[in-house]
Structure 1
């Protein structure tokens, strides 16, 4: 049986090619499906949109490709190149008289988004070639084409580098029309000659590249018409007014040539190009020609479409100088599509629309688009809502319903309150209550705003103060008095609790009856005493803490000696003499205080707080009896105060992370409660980082402005030698709390926990030789040669007889 014939080489090659095509097609299809899934999950992914369109162009699926481009353009503006590709694809795949209008609309949409000379040229060529009325030179077609050319000249005719291409295309079209005019129609020919001549004159008055070649072309054209007299002359046959305009334009071009040369550098980075555009724009603005400035801005945003600096500069210039409603709408619309994340553009957009008296529907639509964007901070959303409210307030006389303002405030409060700082939330609600009162004429609604604010920020003194102020402005004394009764016993930061008490007394003095005044005094007096007691206890607590730390540092060697004698029983008298009671020392220190409660200097705060961070917070070793080092050299250290009590070391580390160099953080904590005291030391590696840290003074950490100063060990040492001092606290008790029972606190007359308290004549069975007789003072010296030995009863008797 004969063998089967082997397939020919051509058949084999064809089979291999089909297999490769099938494999490539399958891979492309999988790629398209993967991109579709990505876009469903992330419709704002720009790069995925681009890749998806490229894959669809390769596959040739025109329906999907068209839908993909429309979807991308819904979220993003397309580049001029994308519009060119889209139009060419449509022309190639479905060009017909029916589809001409759709393709023309594509070009129209494209030239509206960015200035592109190439796209304009494609648009002009397409209409000239495919529009039957234009190609047949009907009157309507001629009019349409000339209008389109004029639009192109307006958009890009001042483009210094490429504008001459539009002028040349316009002249070529008119020259082609000249050829179609019959010889017998001299009048029409004369008109057409004049049109071409006028185009030459207009172009020669504009500073453009290749001006000399345009002048030569014009002279040649005039020579063809028999108007040249002296071919050797540079301006032979050129009217004097055109010569003057040409020279002026040429000088203008020479002034701009240096900027054009910089922009033509293909290897320049975007940052460098931005700087060159900004320099160029500054120069053009100084020349005072708004049209030239606008064209240069269009060139800039076309090359750098996501530069917020360019868009902000462009829109601001138009608001100041041009003020053409149609232009402003177009530019702001494109600016916010390119830089959706820039809240400043949205705010300016709303203000600009209000200036040109846009409708409420248009303003509301822009605002709703804006609040759906993603901004970096909650403050930006707040500014946007306030801009909207300001606009509604200004236009309330135009017949707007106050309910629009109320609804905007409601939306803002609901959206922003979980993220706003108390100060900003207070600003929003204060404005809301004011408008409810003044525009809405609804005091109950205004009170409702404040009551809602109190539910969220009732511990903030300013909330109550502004609420009370509103009631006083309305003359509602009873309501104001009721608010004082509600808030005088609350805990406020700093001296706020005392301030509100005194404010109530002043209110009753100025507005109330004697009974009202007496009632206020009756309520406020115990509260003020309670606050004073609590502050005194906090001061004593801090002072005892500082004394205990200093004593630990000074007597560490004594403690070590004592620990070695732990197993040896010592006589009571000897123990008492070697370890005299601390109560005398403590009382002397307390007796020397002369400053008011809560008043202190930074040096004293440093002196009382310059200690090592409690080892329990770092190592968890609470059972060690070994002496601990209490002081640091602080050679390259800052002292940070007014720290939020919720802040920890990680928060401080993040706060200084932008400057770097922080090598150690010592957050000072209460000895008894182990809670932060709002103070810290931060060590830095060198003075450079230290100086950078000092510049962060008064910046916010967890919403509070921290104070940062350089730690001065020499001052701290002097303060320690002079003795500890007091410092004020904001942790005030609520009304009804027993200040003496506050955790870790002691009454004023008490001393530190380890001190011995001796009252009356009770000597605790100590021998009389160690008890000071009546008449001794703390300044007297007492010498006792037998302090190290016990005395017998006979010796005691002799001592008494001697006295």
Structure 2
């Protein structure tokens, strides 16, 4: 190859301001007689040094800033700071794969300073560049460098000839199939062999004949590859054959006098080039956007895949990844193709190594890299190094980290069980990997099915591979300690014990969890599961004991369920409720209809001499200025309303009719209003969202109401029932407040009339009032258990139990007597 084959700066998209290092160094140290120019150069140098210091600070704070590295290297080349330039390039290449143009710059800079002593170092540099990307220009530079600076090569020694032939044979499959540029590799190969022919003595007829046949073979191979300008290659070949004494018609395409096989191969190659010419035209257009050009590359790749030639497919993939090195989808597509066609081999693992360097944020590439290493029988040391490196990357989701951990465990398990393994692996490696995964993922994936899957796998291997029952139990206990609200985790633990025949241990687990609060109907499910378990495995005594424990809990859960469907609004102390049927405000009236609880509260506040705190319908406090104003709230005449302050004016509670509302259950505890709104974004029509929280703890209940603008949007929302939302399958149904008691709406507003029903007062409100409600005086028929029963409506009976009403001559029981009666064992 001559110097004209070297790629120009414009071909490699090098910056015009980038100059060769020696020239830049000479320019800096050359003194000028023009003082003005000297001053200008000094200012430019000072500005460049300032920019270099700024970039050094940025890279020190963030060594993964790709663009900062590019600018830093460009400035160091400009200032000819050779030592810093080498350090910067080494630091960047340790983190990122450098582009072909950056490798070409680096190699040329070092080659310009080359001597016979540092040739091996520059050769290593070229080899490193070709490990990142297969570039025709980089290959040509590499081969030309050896021809110029390696004495064994340009001296045509046996070692030099063998070295170059080996390199050319490597370059042909890597770059020689590039449709528009691949001819440069073939021509360079021929020229090298012709140079050898020129050194052979004319008297050595046998050796010259062998060399002529070698050159003819390269021509034949070249003519059979679909490349650009094959007609010019054909003319050059005929001219060469004419020199060797073969009579050929240079003006025709006839090769029959040389070889019919070559003629057929050449004709096929020209046809193949014609089929690819329009693809080459599309990807070489200058006015295409990045997306359009990428799509043209993908079309080209699909076409080559249909041809069935893996070498050509790899060639176009290599061109594509060099053009779009940070496209994770492209790398995934490429490596999948290699997995499918090559199965195993260094070519696959090398491709994965390059892919993970180019797109380290893609967990799927790392996981499949581990699998490729395992298929290639890589050592445990090599696989572990890749695994550890993958964990240092930043992925978009914790699921990707989980997949990496599981892939690592999969590989360890398979190799432990394999009889073909040379290495001996200890189970402690699996246990350590699981423990590391649990420690890292549990805080971020708590109460998720993915975390359950990890621990279930772990417990299974502890039990079956390590034969350690205590270890398996420890895995489940560790999970339940942090995620005890996962019903599926309890079920899985119990199922393991039942499968092993450990009935007592399974029963113990039911006793531990039947009182827990689970999402959706989980609490009822675990209770019924215990009864079913005792029917199948327990004695009559065990069954009776379970019934004694479970039935009260089921009654309590039933009441809570009814309360969730008809939750009363907490009465506002010191405020009058506005009539929902009237459009204008009415003045409050004193009289017999004044709420008993409000009077009691006012009296207690007066006795204690404290200010009364009012709570509006949204739960915000509003303070009444003084006792006089507080008393006026219950005793003023209708005409005194104008004297009230703005702060003491009653706030109208918000009433929800649920006429077009969806009731959602089994929500994840992390679900927020914006998450729900996004989930229904394809449906549209969302008016408002209300996520329910536990009144005692403030934690989410896993329930929500979503109001829609009309029935059409509501029906579309209900159609998403059982869809997965934040990792859980949620239930969506139309809210039906009339399904409960007629006296209550779901939000606790009276079904008819304007007077208040004191049966809506919660336990906390009763404690604040210091007395019994009217419902208690009538005799409650509800058994009160648990911390979540304070807001249960007093007129709802538990299913399956009836309590006779007191007779006329029977003294009604007090609230304490009623409670003591139900708490008797």
**Which TM bucket (shorter chain)?**
0.7 to 0.9
Structure with greater proportional helix content: 1
Residue 198 of structure 1 and its aligned partner are, at CA, apart by 1.0
What are the residue-to-residue correspondences of 1:573-612 with 2, within 5 Å? none
Q: Which residue number in structure 2 is paired with residue 165 of structure 1?
A: 184
Q: Which residue number in structure 1 is paired with residue 521 of structure 2?
A: 495
Say what the alpha-carbon RMSD is for the aligned residues.
4.0
Q: Which residue number in structure 2 is paired with residue 211 of structure 1?
A: 230
Q: Which residue number in structure 1 is paired with residue 36 of structure 2?
A: 16
Equivalent-residue separation in structure 2 for 1:556 and 1:671 (angstroms): 33
1:524 to 550, 556, 573: 550
Name which one, 1 or 2, has greater alpha-carbon Rg: 1
Residue 742, structure 1, aligned to residue 767, structure 2 = no
Equivalent-residue separation in structure 2 for 1:130 and 1:670 (angstroms): 78
Report the more deviating stretch, 112-121 or 317-326. 317-326
Q: Which residue number in structure 1 is paired with residue 443 of structure 2?
A: 418
Q: Secondary structure at the match of 1:207?
A: coil
The answer on whether the counterparts of 1:534 and 1:740 sit within 8 Å (CA) in structure 2 is no
Change (3 A) 1:298 1:140: same
Residue 62, structure 1, aligned to residue 87, structure 2 = no
Q: Secondary structure at the match of 1:337?
A: helix
Report the more deviating stretch, 700-709 or 273-282. 700-709
The answer on whether the counterparts of 2:694 and 2:700 sit within 8 Å (CA) in structure 1 is no
Q: Which residue number in structure 2 is paired with residue 400 of structure 1?
A: 425
Q: Which residue number in structure 2 is paired with residue 361 of structure 1?
A: 381
Q: Which residue number in structure 2 is paired with residue 81 of structure 1?
A: 101
The answer on whether the counterparts of 2:563 and 2:791 sit within 8 Å (CA) in structure 1 is no
Q: Which residue number in structure 1 is paired with residue 618 of structure 2?
A: 616
Residue 152 of structure 1 and its aligned partner are, at CA, apart by 1.1
Report the more deviating stretch, 647-656 or 130-139. 647-656
Change (3 A) 1:555 1:675: farther
Structure 1: gaps (5+ residues) = 1-10, 546-550, 577-613, 728-732, 752-757, 763-803
Q: Which residue number in structure 1 is paired with residue 369 of structure 2?
A: 349
Equivalent-residue separation in structure 1 for 2:657 and 2:334 (angstroms): 56
What are the residue-to-residue correspondences of 1:219-618 with 2, within 5 Å? 219-231=238-250, 233-235=252-254, 237-397=257-417, 398=421, 399-422=424-447, 423-535=449-561, 541=567, 555-556=581-582, 566=589, 615-616=617-618
Equivalent-residue separation in structure 2 for 1:427 and 1:707 (angstroms): 22
Equivalent-residue separation in structure 2 for 1:296 and 1:669 (angstroms): 57
The answer on whether the counterparts of 1:542 and 1:726 sit within 8 Å (CA) in structure 2 is yes
The answer on whether the counterparts of 2:617 and 2:654 sit within 8 Å (CA) in structure 1 is no
Q: Which residue number in structure 2 is paired with residue 792 of structure 1?
A: none
What are the residue-to-residue correspondences of 1:87-98 with 2, within 5 Å? 87-93=107-113, 95-98=114-117
The answer on whether the counterparts of 1:649 and 1:665 sit within 8 Å (CA) in structure 2 is no
Q: Which residue number in structure 2 is paired with residue 548 of structure 1?
A: none
Deviations 1:91-143 (A, max 9, x none): 223x2111111111111111221111111111111101111111111122112
The answer on whether the counterparts of 2:241 and 2:248 sit within 8 Å (CA) in structure 1 is no
Change (3 A) 1:287 1:703: closer
Change (3 A) 1:654 1:499: closer
- Under a length normalisation based on structure 1, what TM-score does the superposition of the two structures give? 0.76
The answer on whether the counterparts of 2:387 and 2:408 sit within 8 Å (CA) in structure 1 is yes
Deviations 1:647-698 (A, max 9, x none): 5545545656x669778425276999999883333557999x9999788765
Equivalent-residue separation in structure 1 for 2:45 and 2:390 (angstroms): 42
Equivalent-residue separation in structure 1 for 2:370 and 2:694 (angstroms): 56
Change (3 A) 1:296 1:684: farther
The answer on whether the counterparts of 1:436 and 1:442 sit within 8 Å (CA) in structure 2 is yes
Report the more deviating stretch, 514-523 or 617-626. 617-626
Deviations 1:48-92 (A, max 9, x none): 111111111111121111111110000001111111111111122
Change (3 A) 1:507 1:67: same
Deviations 1:585-629 (A, max 9, x none): xxxxxxxxxxxxxxxxxxxxxxxxxxxxx9526998996557678
Q: Secondary structure at the match of 2:246?
A: coil
Residue 36 of structure 1 and its aligned partner are, at CA, apart by 1.2
Residue 638 of structure 1 and its aligned partner are, at CA, apart by 6.6
Residue 377 of structure 1 and its aligned partner are, at CA, apart by 0.4
Q: Secondary structure at the match of 2:117?
A: helix
Residue 502 of structure 1 and its aligned partner are, at CA, apart by 2.9
Equivalent-residue separation in structure 2 for 1:702 and 1:82 (angstroms): 44
The answer on whether the counterparts of 2:677 and 2:686 sit within 8 Å (CA) in structure 1 is no
Q: Which residue number in structure 2 is paired with residue 767 of structure 1?
A: none
Equivalent-residue separation in structure 1 for 2:739 and 2:788 (angstroms): 31
- Under a length normalisation based on structure 2, what TM-score does the superposition of the two structures give? 0.74
Change (3 A) 1:48 1:255: same
